């Protein structure tokens, strides 16, 4: 019988060996840099229960894992700390029930949790737990063959403090449940860890893209932003910026009504896509209005520093 325990440093080597077997020998999940960024440098990290492991007790070996990212959220007008659970992986021989045990452990001690990118049959578990299914728009644009074009928007590798303050203010002004940004958590999320670029027109029109490797290809993903100008060139700018970084595809999803409205004028949404859930302990559905930066790690396979 396996056991579910919170991660501690004594399991680092066993965890890294398991991560390399499951995600590949060069996966970002096995690096101490990733673990330190997510669980030590994050000002809202849960130091006592950073993430969850499945342990095979006979050999005291890691055979499963579920990570979480703690962020401040504004939900129903109140600031709360919610976990974004991600990177669920269980060894093949231990999958009967272990995934559900991990989910139960992750949700047990929290009032709210974000559960992104879930495919069947795992999505059935979230439905069984009466998690709120979120109406998210998914899109995918192939941009091969590679080429280089200029962008109309100003591409920033690192925004200045005034631009960060402006983006924080804009992102926090939306209605519904969303990440509650401030300069500290914005810097940690976008500038201290996985690589991001910023497309900036002005305080009301900007996009944040993540860049990473997936199956040998460079992939770009739009993970946050805001667009007030319906004639904004930020969509073609995002394609051109991704192309200039030699990305083969631009992906994204959003539950933000503002970006959904803009993207629906530019691209047809994906028909087949994962599901997105939000767990509320009281089982009450709420207006949710957030972007993928709340929990998207699938393509962020290298760190800046």
Which DSSP string corresponds to 33-84?
HHHHIIIII-TT--SSS-SEEEEETTTTEEEEEEEEEEEEEEETTEEEEEEE
Q: Reduced to 3 states, what is the DSSP secondary structure of residue 3? A: strand
Q: How far apart are CA 252 and CA 155, in angstroms?
A: 19
Give residue 81's pLDDT. 97
- Between the alpha carbon of residue 89 and those of residues 59, 85, 107, 177, 223, the distances in Å are 19, 12, 17, 28, 23
Q: Is it the case that residue 11 has pLDDT exceeding 80?
A: yes
pTM passes above 0.85: yes
Give residue 216's pLDDT. 77
Mean pLDDT, the chain, whole residue set? 92
Q: Is it the case that residue 285 has pLDDT exceeding 80?
A: yes
115: number of Cβ within 10 Å: 28
Q: Is it the case that residue 238 has pLDDT exceeding 70?
A: yes
pLDDT band at 305 (very low <50, low <70, confident <90, very high): very low
Q: Reduced to 3 states, what is the DSSP secondary structure of residue 94? A: helix
Give residue 212's pLDDT. 84
Q: How far apart are CA 232 and CA 15, in angstroms?
A: 45
Domains of the chain in start order, with CATH, are 3-110 (3.40.630.30), 138-277+284-294 (3.40.630.30)
Q: Which of 89-98, 169-178, 188-197 has the highest mean pLDDT?
A: 169-178
Q: How far apart are CA 179 and CA 288, in angstroms?
A: 10
pLDDT band at 21 (very low <50, low <70, confident <90, very high): very high
What letters, b where the CB count within 10 A reaches 16 and e where it falls short, cover 125-145? bbeeeebbebebbbbebebee
């Amino acid at each position: 019988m396996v056991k579910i325990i919170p991660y501690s440093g004594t399991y680092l080597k066993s965890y890294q060996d398991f991560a390399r077997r499951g995600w590949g020998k060069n996966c970002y999940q096995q690096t101490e840099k990733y673990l330190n960024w997510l669980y030590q440098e994050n000002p809202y990290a849960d130091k006592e229960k950073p993430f969850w492991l499945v342990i095979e007790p006979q050999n005291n070996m890691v055979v499963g894992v579920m990570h979480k990212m703690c962020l401040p959220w504004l939900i129903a007008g109140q600031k709360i700390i919610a976990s974004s659970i991600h990177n669920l992986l269980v060894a093949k021989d231990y999958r009967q029930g272990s995934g559900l045990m991990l989910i139960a452990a992750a949700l047990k001690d929290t009032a709210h949790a974000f559960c992104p990118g879930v495919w069947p049959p795992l999505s059935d578990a979230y439905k069984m737990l009466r998690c709120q299914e979120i109406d998210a728009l998914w899109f995918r644009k192939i941009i091969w063959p590679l080429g280089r074009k200029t962008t109309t928007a100003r591409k920033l590798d690192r925004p200045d403090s005034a631009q960060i303050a402006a983006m924080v203010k804009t992102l926090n002004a939306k209605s519904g449940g969303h990440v509650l940004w401030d300069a500290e958590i914005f810097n940690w999320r976008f500038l201290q860890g996985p690589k991001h670029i910023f497309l900036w027109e002005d305080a009301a029109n900007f996009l944040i893209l993540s860049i990473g490797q997936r199956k040998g290809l460079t992939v770009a993903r739009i993970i946050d932003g805001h667009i007030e100008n319906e004639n904004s060139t930020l969509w073609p700018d995002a394609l051109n910026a991704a192309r200039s970084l030699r990305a083969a595809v631009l992906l994204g999803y959003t539950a933000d009504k503002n970006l959904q409205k803009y993207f629906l004028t530019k691209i047809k949404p994906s028909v087949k896509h994962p599901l997105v859930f939000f767990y509320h302990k009281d089982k009450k559905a709420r207006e949710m209005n957030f972007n993928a930066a709340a929990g998207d790690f699938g393509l962020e396979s290298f760190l800046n520093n």
